[in-house]
Amino acid sequence: MEWNQVVAHPQLQDLSFKIELNEWGNIVMSPASNRHGNLQVRIAMHLMRLMGAGEVSAEVSILTAKNVKVADVAWASDEFIARHGFTTPYPAAPEICVEIVSPGNTAGEMAEKKALYLASGAKEVWFCQESGEMEFFAQAGQLAASALCFGFPAVLAHRNDV
């Protein structure tokens, strides 16, 4: 199955699942909790406040070496948007791709997504645990903090921290 078929398929609209395509074109669905959605919004709000320029989006489809993966949140520079607009899926990864780690995600799955996003052009890949604890990665490995988004909190704790 191709991504444009997934996006246009009437039975796949308004699902409470995140949909991706694996390397064989099969649909992979992941249920999202309310905490997952809450963290998505918090991350997006921080990015909008701290980055200034560029675009912040949720549920960002990205063509990777293993088909389409969907980042929970992404930040794309103005230059990225000038090149790609809002093409679906993006042919390259935006500069920051964020995954919120769900209880069903394995370490291997997350390592693979990180590698796929970085290989597709992301400058940083962030993981957010359900606790709100953030991890930042670049090609060189794990970072103590984001090198692109100065001041992003290490832990997303409370509503008032945004």
pLDDT in tens, 79-133: 999 999 999 999 999 999 999 998 888 999 999 999 999 999 999 999 999 999 9
* pTM of structure: 0.84
Average pLDDT across the chain, whole number: 89
Domain 32-161 has CATH 3.40.109.10: no
Q: Write out the DSSP string of 22-73.
A: -TTS-EEEEE--HHHHHHHHHHHHHHHHHH-SSEEEEEEEEEETTEEEEEEE
Which H/E stretch holds residue 101? none
